[in-house]
């Protein structure tokens, strides 16, 4: 692997088509938990009141039977029969477990024999997923069930649920063999521990006297001569100086309660659902890999694992099925590391007019989402199949030195002819949604009346610049490098500041 890679697509097919056997040192995944929740990114826009589904955490029976048959043909009989059992005794979990089993098999394939695997899940699925992983990795290669206290609260006092509040996630940790990298992590001593070392020697080191229960006569004599031990009249044992400084700190166990979750006001917050703190991924990567190793995240979301890998001098591979995720990761990494960012390639997105048209033919909604995210604009109808709502996306930009913003409405037109009435419609959208500019993206060539209507719409002045009120951009022009004239600072995402500085919030907003 010569370059870090970011893939758009289902990790099952990306892994099969692109990642060789035994090529990855560490795999971390944080897949949907089958908790029957839809995770939404909400856009704070009183006029539109729209929401964007970032991913839908709901698994159905569609294609499950084909997946089960495939597992059978892969000669994974134990796994196949386990899933058949779950089909009977846990039908609610069966579809999810079948889909995950295929993907975990592929992740096991690409993992080096010395590699490690972390599966982030919650209590609704952790016990089922462990049985799947036990078969794939082998029970003997199970290392830990790590419990992360993701929130520090104990739940609302007004809660009427007859159970204890749930504020933990699970991380199932496996190695591929009994030879693997692992480095213990330590955390700083707590104040109570420091206070127990209540004496300070002439060099300023903290120590306490502890009983010396096992010793040879020669060792004791030597320690006494050095002033490191003495007889204690109150104890039957001699005592020796136990120094606090000789230890690295308290070793971290499988109970992780010291990592802060990302609250609504956290400077690390990106606005992406299920975002995990970078410190969590740093702990995993430090423990189970070395500098220069390859880290893979098959459900990379907003890119926290990739960010952590980059900061710790690891190579990385990220895979996600959402165009939103790919766009956000690209911006996040560039804003955080600037010119120090390692080179990376983005694969699975159209690279020319032909591949873009092919995407349109295969999935018009994916095409729309891809093209909008190229402008760092999010579709207002992401994942929605139905009548055209008129506006496909809205971008927000800094308009002047005073920090005032302006808004641009985007429309995407795929196949078929386009006509001037669509420009009239876009003008109406601007007024309805309080946008100052409109961008019409089209595969087809615009007609002469369309261009005339766009030109007649005039200009909008902001910050000393004149912007055409309506702009038309074709797919051919896009791949030729042409872009609409818009203010340079796009704040549809709020930017992260460069590494080493205070990080601003990145959010998804309209």
Q: How far apart are the first and last CA of the chain?
A: 38
Name the band, by pLDDT with cuts 50, 70 and 90, for residue 157: low
Q: Is residue 223 part of a domain?
A: yes
Strand 168-175 to 315-320 pairing? unpaired
- pLDDT (mean) for 9-28: 96
Q: Is residue 439 part of a domain?
A: yes
User: What is the C-alpha separation between 55 and 47, in angstroms, rounded?
Assistant: 24
Position 364 pLDDT exceeds 80: yes
Range with the poorest average pLDDT among 82-96, 109-123, 335-349, 376-390: 376-390
Domain of 208?
A: 187-250
Position 415 pLDDT exceeds 80: no
Q: Is residue 35 part of a domain?
A: yes
The two three-digit tokens of residue 99, written as one number? 């889909």
Confidence at residue 263, expressed as pLDDT on a 0 to 100 scale: 80
One domain for residues 306 and 422? no
Q: Is residue 378 part of a domain?
A: yes
Tens digits of residue pLDDT in 193-204 = 888 888 888 888
Of 106, 99, 117, give the one whose Cα is nearest residue 20.
106
User: What is the C-alpha separation between 423 and 427, in angstroms, rounded?
Assistant: 6
Position 160 pLDDT exceeds 80: no
Name the band, by pLDDT with cuts 50, 70 and 90, for residue 389: low
Confidence at residue 53, expressed as pLDDT on a 0 to 100 scale: 52
Q: Is residue 502 part of a domain?
A: no
Q: What is the DSSP letter of 508?
A: B
- pLDDT (mean) for 210-238: 77
The residue out of 250, 267, 294 marking a domain boundary is 250
Position 13 pLDDT exceeds 70: yes
Confidence at residue 430, expressed as pLDDT on a 0 to 100 scale: 93
One domain for residues 360 and 340? no
Of residues 158 and 110, more confidence is placed in 110
- pLDDT (mean) for 4-16: 95
Position 340 pLDDT exceeds 60: yes
Token look-up 């007889």 returns 231
Q: Is residue 93 part of a domain?
A: no
User: What is the C-alpha separation between 340 and 365, in angstroms, rounded?
Assistant: 35
Position 388 pLDDT exceeds 60: no
Position 410 pLDDT exceeds 90: yes
One domain for residues 281 and 428? no
Of residues 177 and 250, more confidence is placed in 177
Confidence at residue 506, expressed as pLDDT on a 0 to 100 scale: 39
3-state secondary structure of 94: helix
User: What is the C-alpha separation between 118 and 28, in angstroms, rounded?
Assistant: 5
Position 41 pLDDT exceeds 50: no
One domain for residues 420 and 277? no
Q: Is residue 196 part of a domain?
A: yes
Most confident region among 73-87, 109-123, 377-391 by mean pLDDT: 109-123
Confidence at residue 264, expressed as pLDDT on a 0 to 100 scale: 78
Name the band, by pLDDT with cuts 50, 70 and 90, for residue 35: low
The residue out of 347, 366, 400 marking a domain boundary is 347
One domain for residues 338 and 260? yes
Range with the poorest average pLDDT among 79-93, 390-404, 439-453: 390-404
Tens digits of residue pLDDT in 59-101 = 555 578 888 888 888 878 899 999 999 999 999 899 999 999 9
One domain for residues 192 and 276? no
Confidence at residue 61, expressed as pLDDT on a 0 to 100 scale: 58
One domain for residues 292 and 160? yes
One domain for residues 115 and 177? yes
One domain for residues 289 and 209? no
The two three-digit tokens of residue 16, written as one number? 């099969």
User: What is the C-alpha separation between 262 and 272, in angstroms, rounded?
Assistant: 11
One domain for residues 164 and 281? yes
Of 348, 277, 341, give the one whose Cα is nearest residue 315.
341
Range with the poorest average pLDDT among 39-48, 432-441, 475-484: 39-48
Position 387 pLDDT exceeds 50: no
User: What is the C-alpha separation between 19 and 22, in angstroms, rounded?
Assistant: 9
One domain for residues 151 and 288? yes
One domain for residues 181 and 159? yes
The residue out of 220, 250, 280 marking a domain boundary is 250
Confidence at residue 386, expressed as pLDDT on a 0 to 100 scale: 44
What's the domain count of the chain?
A: 3
The CA R_g of the chain, rounded to the nearest whole Å, is 28
Of residues 105 and 193, more confidence is placed in 105
CATH number, position 429: 3.40.1350.10
CATH number, position 23: 3.40.50.150
User: What is the C-alpha separation between 371 and 366, in angstroms, rounded?
Assistant: 9
Confidence at residue 154, expressed as pLDDT on a 0 to 100 scale: 57
Q: Is residue 303 part of a domain?
A: yes
């Amino acid at each position: 692997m010569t370059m870090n890679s970011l893939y758009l697509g289902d990790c099952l097919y990306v892994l099969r088509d692109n990642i060789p056997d035994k090529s990855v040192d560490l795999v971390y995944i944080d897949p949907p938990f089958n908790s029957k929740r839809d995770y939404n990114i909400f856009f704070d826009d009183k006029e539109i009141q729209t929401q964007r589904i970032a991913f839908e955490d709901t698994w159905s029976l569609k294609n499950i039977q084909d997946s089960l048959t495939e597992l059978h043909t892969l000669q994974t009989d134990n796994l196949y029969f386990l899933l058949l059992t779950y089909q009977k005794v846990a039908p609610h979990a069966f579809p999810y477990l079948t889909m995950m089993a295929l993907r975990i098999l592929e992740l096991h394939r690409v993992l080096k024999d010395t590699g490690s695997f972390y599966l982030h899940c919650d209590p609704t699925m952790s016990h089922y997923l462990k049985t799947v992983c036990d078969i794939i990795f082998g029970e003997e290669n199970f290392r830990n069930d790590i419990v992360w206290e993701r929130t520090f609260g104990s739940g609302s006092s007004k809660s009427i649920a007859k159970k204890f509040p749930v504020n933990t996630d699970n991380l199932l940790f496996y190695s591929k063999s009994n030879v693997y990298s692992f480095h213990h992590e330590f955390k700083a001593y707590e104040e109570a521990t420091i206070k127990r070392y209540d004496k300070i020697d002439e060099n300023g080191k903290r120590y306490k006297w502890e009983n010396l229960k096992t010793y040879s006569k020669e060792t004791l004599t030597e320690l006494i001569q050095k002033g490191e031990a003495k007889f204690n009249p109150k104890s039957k044992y001699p005592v020796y100086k136990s120094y606090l400084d000789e230890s690295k700190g308290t070793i971290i166990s499988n109970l992780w309660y010291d990592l802060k979750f990302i609250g609504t006001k956290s400077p690390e917050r990106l606005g992406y659902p299920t975002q995990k703190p970078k410190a969590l991924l740093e702990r995993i990567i430090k423990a189970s890999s070395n500098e220069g190793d390859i880290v893979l995240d098959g459900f990379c979301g907003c890119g926290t694992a990739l960010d952590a890998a980059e900061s710790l001098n690891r190579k990385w591979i990220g895979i996600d099925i959402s165009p939103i995720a790919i766009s956000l990761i690209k911006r996040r990494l560039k804003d955080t590391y600037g010119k120090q960012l390692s080179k990376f390639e983005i694969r699975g997105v159209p690279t020319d007019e032909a591949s873009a048209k092919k995407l349109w033919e295969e999935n018009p909604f994916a095409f729309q989402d891809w093209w909008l995210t190229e402008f760092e604009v999010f579709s207002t109808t992401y994942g929605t199949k139905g009548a055209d709502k008129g506006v496909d996306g809205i971008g927000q930009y800094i308009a002047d030195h005073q920090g005032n913003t302006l808004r641009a409405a985007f429309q995407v037109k795929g196949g078929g002819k386009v006509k001037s009435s669509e420009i009239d419609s876009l003008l109406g959208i601007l007024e309805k949604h309080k946008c100052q500019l409109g961008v019409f993206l089209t595969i087809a060539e615009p007609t002469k009346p369309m261009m005339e209507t766009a030109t007649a719409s005039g200009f909008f002045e902001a910050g000393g610049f004149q912007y055409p009120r309506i702009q038309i951009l074709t797919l051919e022009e896009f791949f030729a490098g042409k872009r609409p004239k818009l203010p340079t600072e796009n704040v549809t995402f709020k930017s992260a500041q460069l590494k080493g500085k205070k990080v601003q919030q990145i959010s998804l907003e309209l």
